[in-house]
Structure 1
Amino acid sequence: MKLNLSAVIALVCITCIWSYSWIVMKTLLVYIGPFDFAAIRCALGAALLLLVLKLRNRGMKPPPLGTTFIIGVLQTVGMVGFSQWALITGGAGKVAILAYTMPFWVILLAALFLNERLAKLQYWATAIAVCGMILILQPWNNNGSMLASILALLSGFCWGASVIIAKRLYLRTPTDLLSLTTWQMVMGAIVLAVIALFVPSKPIIWHPYLWGGLLYNAVLATAVAWVLWMFILKHLPASVAGLGTLAVPVCSALLSWWLLGERPNGAETAGIICVVLCWRWYW
């Protein structure tokens, strides 16, 4: 199978961008509260995606508003909000691994709501993945990181639920991916801004690193990455693209170990290995 070289390079770039974004999100919490950062990041990202939508002449009319709003609440508010909240006390690599349990939730929710049957191998993969998540969560070890792990899992669940809602929308109504991505982020950013307004948070320290981190996440990790992702989906097989995205949490875990000194203990390492081994069976 001959692969498009430009798309492969784009896949490497997006993996690097998204992997390092978890390190940036973790380290920025010194200067800003999680919901303030999530709201500003998504607002900037939404503005840039609106510009891309306009420049690509896709039309500015949003997809069905009700469904788009639900996807925005799940994918932007839930996925981004819960993961950023989890990073307060959770390690960047560990949170990334648990947030990327999204494929497991997609398979399970699709079986419940889309009548898609699980293959035998996926039943085994789910069982092993659950064991891995228990090892990562370590409910027997009350070390203060349980809340962060649960929040990270909720992030992955919301992400997976948004995929199911989006798939149902695609089945009913022809929908442009860029338009849906843009407008769900616009709506999600508004909800996050309301949450940030009412949730008590520490004062924002407008340090140059904060500006750089916001630009990194809004420009590179949001607008540029999503444009690259659409290019990848167009020119590479879904299985190759899927494996590329699953490299993100692994690289994030390695980067957090290297740059932040977040070394997992034995049980967490075993759990991460279980989850990583199961990912391939879901694509």
Structure 2
Amino acid sequence: MNEGKASAGAVVALGATVVIWASSWIVMKLVLRYAGPFDFSALRYSIGAVLLFLVLVVLRRPLAPPPLAGTIITGLTQTAAFQGLGQFALTSGGTGRVVLLAYAMPFWAVLLAWLILGERPVRRHWIGLALAAIGLTCVIAPWRGLGHPLSTVTALLGGVCWALGTVTSKAMFQRHQPDPLTFTAWQMAFGAAALAIVAFFVPERSMEWTPAFIAGLVFSVIFATSLAWTLWLLVVRRLPTTVAALSSLAVPVLSVLMAWVVLHEPPTSNEWVGMAFIVTGLLAVTGVRLTRR
């Protein structure tokens, strides 16, 4: 496959990931009616890891773990910390707000990629970053308060952890070139183990195995966990970290609109303005031009 086709495939994978993850936040909010945040996250990623290992066996892909240091760090940051903290933040915060706080991730990813990988942002990246920062500021509206402090802090911290996991994933592909599916399975297994330990020590409500909960679990395991994280690692492998990270800002925009329709959380005027800035920032960072040559 040539470089152009690989990049085009990465863009398609990125689009699919955006839609799946935007939907998953709505599902994550709904399942809290039936389970605690850490119990659900641990169950979701444990089943997801097992499913991916079964896929590896069926496809006869390599089962040996990639270099453990990078794999474990990625699992602890982008799987355990990001998902656990994000799910916990939803217990007391609105869906749209939590997603937007968590998706401050690109700002941390740009800095970490610069420091760790030496990926110096170019001019259009800085412009997109500035526009997206204005957009997130408008949506969050800090002059109106930060809402529930614990929800705000955990959502932001989750975004920082995801940024670190994104950078370590990129470093793994640059230095060791692991099989994406194998890498996804192993980092997810380590993350699921960490989540299971947290769930064991943190008291939570008992799970209610209702049809709605089972449906949410199936969607989360198959699509939002196994498929989407595999696609995301393919995106990180093929595209620059800055482009991949900033493009993921489309997820909170779509999540806010979905929360309006499904959860009856209508966007405020500040959120509409903010989302306009975010979309403009996405166009800038990807180099899309609105005029013909």
Q: C-alpha separation between the residues in 2 aligned to 1:98 and 1:266?
A: 18
Write out aligned runs for 1:45-194 (5 A). 45-142=48-145, 144-194=147-197
Q: After alignment, is 160-169 or 127-136 more displaced?
A: 127-136
| Shift in CA distance, 167/225, structure 1 to aligned 2, threshold 3 Å | closer
Q: Is the 8 A contact 1:111 1:117 kept in 2?
A: yes
The SS at the match of 1:75 is helix
Following superposition, the deviation at residue 280 of structure 1 comes to 3.3
Q: Is the 8 A contact 2:100 2:136 kept in 1?
A: no
| Shift in CA distance, 160/143, structure 1 to aligned 2, threshold 3 Å | closer
Q: After alignment, is 232-241 or 8-17 more displaced?
A: 232-241
Q: C-alpha separation between the residues in 1 aligned to 2:149 and 2:179?
A: 39
Following superposition, the deviation at residue 46 of structure 1 comes to 0.7
Code of the residue aligned with 2:130 in structure 1: it is A
Question: Of the candidates 265, 276, 285, which is equivalent to residue 273 of structure 1?
Answer: 276
| Shift in CA distance, 95/40, structure 1 to aligned 2, threshold 3 Å | same
Match of 1:44 in 2: 47
The SS at the match of 1:30 is coil
The gaps in structure 1 that reach 5 residues or longer are none
Q: Is the 8 A contact 2:46 2:193 kept in 1?
A: yes
The gaps in structure 2 that reach 5 residues or longer are 287-293
Q: C-alpha separation between the residues in 2 aligned to 1:276 and 1:88?
A: 28
Q: Give the TM-score normalised by structure 1.
A: 0.84
Q: Give the TM-score normalised by structure 2.
A: 0.82
Q: Is the 8 A contact 2:44 2:220 kept in 1?
A: yes
Code of the residue aligned with 2:25 in structure 1: it is W
Q: C-alpha separation between the residues in 1 aligned to 2:45 and 2:261?
A: 28
The SS at the match of 1:140 is helix
Q: C-alpha separation between the residues in 2 aligned to 1:67 and 1:235?
A: 18
| Shift in CA distance, 66/15, structure 1 to aligned 2, threshold 3 Å | closer
Write out aligned runs for 1:203-214 (5 A). 203-214=206-217
The count of residues paired between Structure 1 and Structure 2 equals: 283
| Shift in CA distance, 190/174, structure 1 to aligned 2, threshold 3 Å | same
The root-mean-square deviation of aligned C-alpha atoms, in Å, is 3.4
Following superposition, the deviation at residue 13 of structure 1 comes to 5.5
Q: Is the 8 A contact 1:97 1:272 kept in 2?
A: no
Determine what percentage of the aligned residue pairs are the same residue.
Answer: 42
